[in-house]
Amino acid sequence: MKKYNYLQSLFILVILATACAPGGNEHPENEEENETVTEARFTPVQYKNAGIELGRIEYRNLRSVVRSGGYLEVPPQHKAAVAPVMGGMIRKIFVMEGNEVRKGQILAMLEHPDFVKLQEQYIEALAGFSYLEKEYARQKELSSGNVNAEKVFQQTESDYQAARGHVRSLEAQLRMLSLDIQKVAEGNILPSVPLYSPIDGSVSHINGSIGAFAEPGKPIFDIVDNSQVLVELAVYEKDMYRVKPGQGVEFVLPGQGNEVISGSIFGIGKILEDDTKALAVHASIMGRSQELIPGMFVNALIEIGSDSVPVLPRQAVVAEAGKKYIFIRDKEGSAPYGDIVFRRIEIETGLEEMGYVEVLPLEEFAPDSEIAVEGTFHIHSVFKPGVDQE
């Protein structure tokens, strides 16, 4: 009979003991990994550091909309090109690009010999007219008494009317140059003429410098009133009959952090553009901002219906293992030491527009529940180990 040594015997005993022990053929799992997480708990400090922000379900019109694109524009009544009526040398410039200006504010001063000549002509014409006015009155009185011949009176009247027309013409030219006619009539000849801003706004462009010659009709200053910015949208033929004045519009500026701005349609064009076959639609902006600059591109949703759906910001929804969740603050759960507790609610989602997503809960919760809309990653990280167990 073969004998076993001590180590062999010990090894056999260990095997037999393991086999006979209750549950010895099972492989226990880590209970912590098998545990389903039902809530996420944060201390006030953790809550603050995680950048969690709360919001509530709100209702937005995401279904009955027409998608459109366009750009910001200023109506012609609120932008101006300031150009001299007569050419002259730029003597002074009082503003810089970007400066805010008021209507009637002096922008620059121009000089030219023709300005002086025009004032001289007015003074001479005014003196001649004054003489003819008196002569006309005298001849009229003589003519009424049959003292003077009618032919002399008619000639005097003709000269008087021509002189008066010439004076009025020169006055109109002086007004175009923004000169004080009364001062000129008193003999005060001004060597420089001012350029005034015709509207309130800001200086968007200056085309000139001191000493440069300003040509007549060529703008030196461009003034824009950005507080009156409107939106010009392009609506294509298939949607043109669905769009009407008074409908609400939401605009997004892609280059400005997708900020949402509200407005409404106030005008619709009557002709399709030849190149795009789109209809021009004009919309006003609520809460106008000086930061809006003409030419900015916008995406827009035109609300053509009255249906509304419950929505949350897109970042409030977290997807995991083919499911979607939101995190609701649980005010009824146990929260020692001021802890903030969240529970997870499974949902389905509908349409997504303008950074919002339609929320379709799979279980009921209070309509005014506080829901995490920022910092959801940190909350989700607590629930993630239990996702596969639900």
* DSSP letters for 257-309: TTEEEEEEEEEEEEEE-TTT-EEEEEEEESS--TT--TT-EEEEEEE-S---E
Per-range mean pLDDT, top range of 22-26, 40-44, 133-137: 40-44
Residue 18 confidence class, pLDDT cut points 50, 70, 90 = very low
State the Cα–Cα distance between residues 135 and 296, nearest whole angstrom.
Answer: 65
208 and 94 co-located in one domain = yes
In a domain, 241, yes or no: yes
Position 14 scores a pLDDT of 41
CB 76 within 8 A of CB 232: no
265 and 335 co-located in one domain = no
**The total number of structural domains that make up the chain:** 3
In a domain, 71, yes or no: yes
Q: Last residue of a domain, which of 303, 321, 349?
A: 303
Position 15 scores a pLDDT of 43
Q: Is pLDDT at 1 greater than 60 in this prediction?
A: no
Position 136 scores a pLDDT of 72
In a domain, 20, yes or no: no
331 and 382 co-located in one domain = yes
295 and 376 co-located in one domain = no
What are 204-226's pLDDT values in tens digits?
Answer: 999 999 999 999 999 999 999 98
Q: Is pLDDT at 90 greater than 90 in this prediction?
A: yes
State the Cα–Cα distance between residues 209 and 114, nearest whole angstrom.
Answer: 20
In a domain, 127, yes or no: yes
Could you list the residue range(s) of the whole structural domain that residue 93 is in? Answer: 84-218
In a domain, 185, yes or no: yes
Q: Is pLDDT at 348 greater than 80 in this prediction?
A: yes
In a domain, 15, yes or no: no
What region does 208 belong to: left with phi over 0, alpha with psi -120 to 50, or beta?
left
In a domain, 384, yes or no: yes
100 and 202 co-located in one domain = yes
CA-closest candidate to residue 96, choices 192, 255, 202: 202
Q: Is pLDDT at 101 greater than 90 in this prediction?
A: yes
What are 268-318's pLDDT values in tens digits?
Answer: 988 888 777 899 999 998 876 557 888 889 999 888 876 678 999 999 999
Q: Last residue of a domain, which of 195, 218, 241?
A: 218
CB 245 within 8 A of CB 304: no
